Amino acid sequence: MLDIDKIRKDFPILKIKSNNKDLIFFDNGASSQKPKIVLDKIKEIYETKYANIHRGIYNLSQQSTKAYEESRKIIQKFLNAKSEKEIIFVRGATEAINLVAQSFGLNNFEKGDEVILSQMEHHSNIVPWQLLRDKLGIKINVIPINQDGDIDLNNFKKLLSKKVKLVSILHVSNALGTIVPIKELISISHKQKIPVLVDGCQSVPHMKVDVQNLDADFYCFSGHKIYGPTGIGILYSKKDFLEKMSPYQGGGEMISEVTFKKTTYQEPPHKYEAGTPNIVGSIALGTAIDYVKNINIEKICKHEQNLLNYATDKIKSLNEVKIIGTSKNKAGIISFIVKNTHPNDIGVILDNHGIAVRTGHHCCQPLMQFYNIPATIRASFGLYNTLDEIDSFIDALKNAINLLR
């Protein structure tokens, strides 16, 4: 079991008051809080090691470059990628998906080709493909889900054809918590030689992810959800794709030689990292991942499952509440609605108790349309959350329901 008291001391923000109450942070699905070791690393780099990377021959630049590339290796080992050259620093999962859409899709898809998404996708895994559809005339097909929020693999298989050029799908639903059987889905796709892009934003912080074991062609996540800084994320891609794809952006660093007639590009991953990158964010992300590794991702997963099970049982006891997304295979996310009450009203009252939850469509409007609801209240758990916090949350939720009757 985790030493939660010790872990909580690592997060300075958990000591603050919110509306004169102890902060209970249940919005980890949107973004997680940062441990002091990450905050200290950001400060250290800016104060003692900051310089632009890969360009300076002077000592400070060399130190900064070394720290930047060491972070890449930390992430490579964390995901079990074959090589650090398969790890690309991006601004977040949104940029990673756009990169694949533009560098892979734009150059490999033709009018009439198909991309498969799921009913549960975040807008960041819908809109880039719609932009590509508008440019090329491709078709987007959607894997349906059932009322529990599960994908039916038989329905998925029916969508596969020679026209399908990519499956782009989340690993864990940010709105429901559903864990997609991603390894099986990838295996089914690969039997028809269809590559798969996986949005791992809600999986990487909460469970062991091995990209070689999954056999994912592309896998991405955002650093701010795994206790790292904002504005930094990762795209993993198999080497074969990176070598064949065109650059996503042009500029400094990604070039080998430039003339006014022609430009040649560096080898991956630098081919896809144009301009001055988020140097400090990249280094601090490595620190955040080391922090998670030292705690042990399997222990984190077990702890969060205990929180999920405990909270689910408590919420089920409330007659006025309905859970949206009841898959038997879920990560630490609970979405729910209160009968005859708008989610925002519940969220405001919970906030008055110092409890931060997310209310709204969670950037999943097509999913909300499937359930015929405008929004849900979402509680999403992280490694620093406790059973006592859930008890306080349930008490506050009961209070909110009584006030709004």
My answer on whether omega of the bond before 269 falls inside 30° of 0, hence cis, is yes
Query: Who contacts 257 (Cβ-Cβ below 8 Å, separation ≥6)?
Result: 263, 264
Helix, strand or coil for residue 50?
A: coil
Pairing of strands 139-143, 114-118: parallel
Residue 389 to residue 346: CA distance in whole angstroms: 17
Where does residue 60 fall: left (phi above 0), alpha (psi -120 to 50 degrees), or beta otherwise?
alpha
Amino acid letter, 357: V
Partners of 168 in beta bridges: 197
List Cα–Cα distances, 56 to 45, 59, 310, in angstroms: 16, 8, 53
108 burial class (0-12, 13-18, 19+ CB within 10 angstroms)?
middle
Do residues 153 and 184 touch, judged by C-beta distance below 8 A?
Answer: yes
Partners of 90 in beta bridges: 233
Query: Who contacts 101 (Cβ-Cβ below 8 Å, separation ≥6)?
Result: 128, 129, 131, 132
Measuring CA to CA, which residue among 127, 55, 62 is closest to residue 97?
127
Q: DSSP letter at 160? A: -
Give the position of tokens 């930094």: 232
Q: DSSP letter at 224? A: G
Which residues are the active-site residues? 363
Residue 126 to residue 385: CA distance in whole angstroms: 31
Helix, strand or coil for residue 47?
A: helix
Query: Who contacts 310 (Cβ-Cβ below 8 Å, separation ≥6)?
Result: 387, 390
